[in-house]
Amino acid sequence: MPEPTRLDELPADARARLRKWPNPTWVSPMLATLTEESFSREGWLFEPKLDGERCLALRHGRAVDLFSRNQKRLNEKYPELVSALKMQKPSTFVLDGEIVAFDKGVTSFAKLQPRMQVQRPSEELRARVPVWFYAFDLLNAETYDTRQLPLRYRKDLLQSTIEFKDRLRFTEHRETEGEAYYREACKQGWEGIIAKNGDSVYVSARSRDWLKFKCINEQEFVIGGYTDPQGSRTDFGALLVGYYERGKLKYAGKVGTGYDSVTLRRLGKQLASIETKPCPFTTDALPSRGVHWVKPKLVAQIGFAEWTGAGKLRQPRFLGLRSDKSPEEVVREK
């Protein structure tokens, strides 16, 4: 008699949800909804909110593909993760997770930037900025679509299917005391936590079955312009950023901190290449002196203290560029 597979060990009602899916090539990711409410709701799972780059990892035979949330291939950026996934015993799977780098024990988007901005990292860069893949969901196993299984079953399958070692990590979760976990996360300096309905299926859309509780204010903004440098600053002074509201780019403020010399030089060249005369913002009260407008093609991750009553960012700081999100997707998180 053959050994039972992990799918065979599922309850009958769960196995009935499985469908054959032998060679998936892409899955649009499920997205969490921001909320100010934290809770300890029965039946929900609580995971750390990792501050990195979302990644879908697909394997079919010897082929492994890493994709960003907007389907950009990441294999050349993170070859060590491709190698680690090729070492796995299962020949077919789809994992959802996050690529991260650490700064003093905490995942850091800023720390990951040197890897995100380099297409083919040198051995020196790979050693200086090591990365890990933290998997938190399993969408395909043994050529079966697992997305219609309840999340708690997908997590169990994930943990038993993949051998988590070296660059691969399982995203641990708690099933109780969500509010205490949130307070602990904020104390540790994490970005926040994600609360997930343990009975939820996986949908390729934003959902209230996944909720994010943020400890710090941080989100994506579209770069619409920049100012001239002042004093000893080179290349540019501050970025002018905004977000889309009803299809129009709304101005959110100037971001003048968070840049090192390498970032100023690299980003300055990118801005100069997309400079344009028309202002991309549709709102009033824009800076007028020493301003250069750019085509709204670049997306930046910005940390900030809070939103002002006038809808502007207070104490914003540049964390890095994002290539995994298109400008048209960027809205104000509420």
- By annotation, the residues acting in catalysis are 49
Among residues 217, 218, 214, 238, which one has the least CA distance to residue 227?
Answer: 238
Helix (H, G, I), strand (E, B) or coil at 241: strand
DSSP 19-57: EE-S-----PPPEEEE-S-----TTEEEEE---SEEEEE
Query: How far from chain centre, in Å, is Cα 17?
Result: 29
Q: Which residues have a Cβ under 8 Å from the Cβ of 69 and sit 6 or more positions away?
A: 29, 54, 55, 56, 324, 325
Q: How far apart are CA 190 and CA 168, in angstroms?
A: 20
Q: How far apart are CA 332 and CA 334, in angstroms?
A: 6
Among residues 204, 217, 299, which one has the least CA distance to residue 49?
Answer: 217
- Token pair for 249: 């780019």
